[in-house]
Amino acid sequence: MAELKASLACAAFLLSSAVLAFVEDLDDTFKDNRMDDVWLVDFYAPWCGYCKKLEPIWHDVGAELKNSGSPVRVGKMDATAYSGVASEFGVRGYPTIKLLKGELAYTYKGPRTKDDIIEFANRVAGPAVRSLPSRQMFDHVLKRHDVLFVYVGGESPLKEKYIDVASELIVYTYFFSASEDVLPESVNLPELPSVVVFKDGSFFTYDEYEDGSLSSWVNRERFQGYLQIDGFTLYELGETGKLVAIAVIDEKEPTEENIRLKGLIQRVATEYREHFNRDFQFGHMDGNDYINGLIMGEVTVPSIIILNTSNEQYFLPSEPVETLEQLVHFINSVLDGSAQAYGGDGIFQRIKRVAYDARSTVMSVFRSSPVLGCFLFGLPLGVISLMCYGICTAESDDGAEELEMMKREGLTDEEEEEEEEEEERRRQAGKPEAPEDEEGEVERDEKSAVEKKTD
């Protein structure tokens, strides 16, 4: 039995050592020694709950990249212990995941899952623009990616711009280059060189005069025309500068109205792409919980809502949307500014947001753990109540003590008045009255004195 325990302990130690070997602990010497390798680094804080949740996933990422022969080295750094290094890499919160390649630092903003982090690491660690040498390779890549950017042509100023954009936006998507003969015969380009995006079963060509800068065009086109939207996707869509038109539905109960509104949004995304693609992203969201928190209100299910994530405004149809024409009219009214806008980021809305978030936090705590809620919020209120009661009671006691002292000393105002009145009565009662003859004598003496003085 003792030997079995010893074997298990030894196996656990070896396993933990192997796991730790896949993820390196970094210190302040890292910034001087990192330039020769590509690093994927988790900047964490020991007290951070999200960091602790990421820790087992991070070890799996390190093991997967090591076993697959990836050139990416995986590390972690305590950003509170080495705050200077973390600050140099622009770390502002925890955990922060960055891929460091030479002088470049790319911040990961996707879901914190093993597969997504590994896909990000492999994409960013490789060349910014990957070559497609054959039709078979093109078909293979097209099947793997919902959105595919391809530069077609030889050396040109456009290719230089494309490489610069790819270096900037590779955190979001892949970039490829190919010759014209690699593309399918159905793809006819108006001119060469060109930048083409393949998505939604079709392809679209970049036009510098109509689409503006290449970087802005790629940023707008990096999503499919129609998406299933969640909180994370909505956050990413905010970086495109587009308004987001959403059908809020309940996928658990696919009623006729749910299906109809979802179908209308899909039709607008497809049939009116040329009209709205530059300014709108279309999709649907399952349930209204996230939307309700975003607008600090209640959105009915199913319904249509358009969000402007740049200034937190939102738009609702003035009447129920029954037809495609009504939906197109509503979208046009938002585009031309005639639709009623709600929300915003003004001072009133900011105050409302603070109050709403505080209320939501309190309610969520009480829903998840009533006992903890009573302790967190009841205890401070109880202490404050006791302090107020103590202050009021202390003032009352002081008054009572002073009154009692005055009573003991016989110095109250009422008692003093009573004593003075009593003494006055005694003086008046004890004073003798002068006889009438004596009074007359006194008066005559006074008159004689006055007459003599006059003479």
- For residues 5-31, give the mean pLDDT: 63
Tokens of 3: 């030997």
Q: Are residues 39 and 110 in the same domain?
A: yes
* Residue that finishes a domain, picked among 322, 344, 366: 344
Residue 243 domain boundaries = 226-344
Tell me which of 122 and 455 has the higher pLDDT.
Answer: 122
Residue 395 lies in a domain: no
For residues 305 and 318, the answer to whether their CB atoms sit within 8 Å is no
Residue 425 lies in a domain: no
The pLDDT of residue 213: 94
120 Cβ neighbours under 8 A, 6+ residues apart: 99, 108, 110, 171
- For residues 270-285, give the mean pLDDT: 94
Q: Are residues 298 and 266 in the same domain?
A: yes
pTM, full prediction: 0.71
Question: Rounded CA gap, 330 and 284, in Å?
Answer: 17
102 — pLDDT class (breaks 50, 70, 90): confident
Tell me which of 231 and 41 has the higher pLDDT.
Answer: 41
Percent of the chain topping pLDDT 70: 78
Tell me which of 194 and 441 has the higher pLDDT.
Answer: 194
Residue 10 lies in a domain: no
Tokens of 319: 């009447």
pLDDT tens digit sequence for 29-55: 888 888 888 999 999 999 998 999 999
Residue 31 lies in a domain: yes
Tokens of 143: 């099947």
- For residues 72-87, give the mean pLDDT: 92
Residues tagged active-site: 48, 51
pLDDT tens digit sequence for 142-160: 999 999 999 999 999 999 9
Q: Are residues 295 and 325 in the same domain?
A: yes
Q: Are residues 90 and 164 in the same domain?
A: no
Tell me which of 395 and 111 has the higher pLDDT.
Answer: 111
| Sign of the CA dihedral running 17, 23, 26, 31 | positive
Residue 378 lies in a domain: no
Residue 420 lies in a domain: no
The overall average pLDDT reported for the chain is: 83
Tokens of 374: 């009573």
- For residues 122-147, give the mean pLDDT: 93
Q: Are residues 181 and 240 in the same domain?
A: no
Q: Are residues 157 and 106 in the same domain?
A: no
The pLDDT of residue 372: 63
Residue 278 lies in a domain: yes
Tokens of 436: 């009438």
Collect contacts of 157-162 with beta carbons under 8 A, ≥24 apart. Answer: 158/193, 158/194, 158/195, 158/214, 159/193, 161/214, 162/129, 162/195, 162/214
For residues 19 and 64, the answer to whether their CB atoms sit within 8 Å is no
The pLDDT of residue 436: 47
Question: Rounded CA gap, 46 and 82, in Å?
Answer: 12
* Residue that finishes a domain, picked among 308, 326, 344: 344
Q: Are residues 108 and 33 in the same domain?
A: yes
Tell me which of 436 and 70 has the higher pLDDT.
Answer: 70
- Total count of domains within the chain: 3
Q: Is the per-residue pLDDT at 2 higher than 70? A: no
The pLDDT of residue 296: 86
Q: Are residues 45 and 118 in the same domain?
A: yes
